[in-house]
Homo-oligomer: A and B are copies of this chain.
Amino acid sequence: MFDEPIERLIEYFRQLPGVGKKTAQRYAFYIIENSRERAENFANAIMDVKNKVKLCKECGNYSTSDICPICQKRNKKIICVVQEPKDIISMEKVKSYEGVYHVLFGTISPLENRGPNDIKIKELLARISKDGVKEVIMATNPDVEGDATAMYISKLLKPLGVKVTRLAQGIAMGSDIEFTDEVTLEKALEQRQEI
């Protein structure tokens, strides 16, 4: 329907998460209709990210330096363990957290053939002895795999005298009890707090 270069650009926009054909067309037309300079800057921004962003050697966070700013400045005695680098962004919105992070890059998942050696557990153990870590907060997702991974790591670390905690599971702030599923309600009941 369109000439080849336009079709190709639409195809690349379609590969972005959640983008359908119509949206991809709108994005492509935005590029066509705007200045050459803007398109150049956009293309350069894409390549710059690929050229400059690497993984922090300490924690696995996205970083432009070998060691990310969080690892450089914050309290290394507390490590919050997450599945993916983007989880760090969500956790960082909680301004009160002063510790560092550790990215596992996945979960233990027998179904998908991923064992403990396929995610960054060895690296976590190394940091624990190196930095004298006091507490590990498991912030893996609240699902079967995330729970299993948290349990596995907790069993590894307890003999080393490290306190292992898990993010509380319960009803989300601003949600309705009426519309909360029973698994979440069960967790909320189990983890109920005295007030």
Residues of A within 8 A of B (CB): 1-6, 8-9, 11-12, 15-18, 23, 25-32, 36, 38-53, 62-64, 86, 89, 92
A50 to B31 Cα, complex, angstroms: 8
Residue of B nearest to A61 (CB): B3
A63 to B3 Cα, complex, angstroms: 7
Given contact pairs A1-B92, A9-B45, A32-B53, a sample of 8 additional A-B residue pairs in the complex whose CB atoms are under 8 Å apart: A2-B62, A5-B48, A8-B45, A12-B42, A15-B30, A18-B26, A36-B50, A39-B50
Q: How many copies does the complex hold?
A: 2
Query: Which secondary structure characterizes the binding site on chain A?
Result: helix
Kindly identify which residue among B9, B40, B48 contacts A9, using a CB–CB cutoff of 8 Å.
Answer: B48
Chain B nearest CB from A8 CB (Å) reads 5
Cβ-defined contact, B32 with A39, below 8 A: no
